[in-house]
Amino acid sequence: MTDKDALIEPDRGQSAIPIHLVDKDGLEEFLKRCTVPQRAALTAQKFKAEGYSHAIMPRDGDEWSVVAGVADTASLSSWCMAKLAEVLPAGTYRRVGGEPGAALLGWITGQYRFERYLSEPGTDGPRILLTGEPKAIPEVLAQAEAVALVRDMVNTPAEDMGPAEIEARAEAIAKTHGAQLRVTRGDMLEREFPMVHMVGRAAARSHAPRMIEIEWGDPAHPRIAIVGKGVCFDSGGLDIKPASGMLLMKKDMGGAAHALALSQLVMSLGLPVRLHALVPAVENAVSGNAFRPGDVLRSRAGITVEIGNTDAEGRLILGDALTRAGEDNPELLIDFATLTGAARVAVGPDLPALFARRDETAEALLDAGAQVDDPCWRLPLFEGYREYLKSDIADINNSGSSGFAGATTAALFLDRFVPKDTDWAHFDTFAWRPAAKPGRPKGGDALGLRAAWRMLAQRYR
């Protein structure tokens, strides 16, 4: 990706190409202010001020400006200028008659490219957008960097984004912000986080399982915990997926990427909290020592779990991580996981399914998502479905017996491992965009990340 610091700059009156934003209600008035050649140019390009459309308009001599359609010039979205950042020539631009505001984020994320494996990466220069609100720049850059972190991690194939590589990312983030890093592996992992060990033990030594923890902040500040599912590749285990089901399984560590990105935001923007971030990192592989359907696992919490399906492994490693997070009594616990296909059936790829114990926390997250164009949708933690997780020989089964309400039963499984008085929210996120949208290319993406950050910022700043 192009250096994000260069993509938005304070407006000091430097030379820049003008961008006129126009909505349909204001198009007639805008055309009245144009010269005859300018109106002719817009007519020739069939400009009607539709969203994401643009046209080039002549100025004095051989200079030119941009006219772009938006839904409402008085209330810009994060994405309304993102298409411009993708298609305009390299150069410096300025919005005429107003500030870019929320559109600054999409201007940056629209120029994201994942080029790690390309022999000849793109050579387009940056499109720079000026703003007269320089105080907004640090937070916009931090959010764009967090989004890029999620995209980079999810887009990277599993061979190059295994548990060790996730640990390396966590170590770099912790070092940058003066945080403490603790990693549990090997025999200690088997003793302290038995379900993480069991799920990951079949992987090659180079992808050995581990629990990654980051601690940061003043212990006197409110304690929060952020947990992310780090299944670096999910074959399904002995309940093996079909080939088509494995094609996107490099993204099954998307929850870990979200947790690290949100933790990075908390630390880089100095939120006054005591942060505890946890990422159980494994590969769910197939070998002679893979865990089996019918096995009974003992968790960190002491709860015994019968394995109804080895492809329901994410909730197992999260169970141990949530237990560890709860031991320090956080006043808020948030987890991210690419947990169920059922959530995608229910709400599609663009809406993370949100589960929360407390209505006020759910409403705060939903409102925050709406404010920053990162919507999510609440699904129920319905107690009546807890019976679907019953086991005849253990405390709980890891896969629902009914075939119904898969996202809810998965959330109810996690709920069993969170202390009952803890304010807990769970994002079942896809972490992937199957089709490109302005500012949001096809591939790995952050879904629910900025909603969670806005809620945290509103609650703790």
- List active site positions: 241, 315
Residue closest to 355 by CA, chosen among 411, 431, 422: 411
User: Are the C-beta atoms of residues 114 and 151 closer than 8 Å to each other?
Assistant: yes
**Residue with token string 């850059």:** 141
Strands (E) located in 154-208: 180-184
CA distances from 220 to 199, 217, 277 (A): 36, 9, 17
User: What whole-number distance in Å separates Cα of residue 109 and Cα of residue 104?
Assistant: 9
Residue closest to 21 by CA, chosen among 123, 94, 87: 94
Residue environment code for 99-108, b if the CB has 16+ CB neighbours within 10 A, otherwise e = bbbbbbbbbb
- Please spell the DSSP secondary structure of 304-319, one letter per residue: EEE-S-TT--HHHHHH
Residue closest to 447 by CA, chosen among 362, 354, 342, 322: 354
User: What whole-number distance in Å separates Cα of residue 388 and Cα of residue 411?
Assistant: 12
Structure tokens at 187: 């025999």
Q: Which residues pair with 336 in a beta bridge?
A: 228, 427
User: Are the C-beta atoms of residues 133 and 99 closer than 8 Å to each other?
Assistant: yes
First to last CA, the chain: 30
User: What whole-number distance in Å separates Cα of residue 247 and Cα of residue 186?
Assistant: 29
Category of 166 on φ-ψ map: left (φ > 0), alpha (ψ -120 to 50) or beta: alpha
User: Are the C-beta atoms of residues 145 and 137 closer than 8 Å to each other?
Assistant: no
Give the phi and the psi of residue 126 in degrees, each rounded to 5. -75, 150
Give the phi and the psi of residue 352 in degrees, each rounded to 5. -65, 135
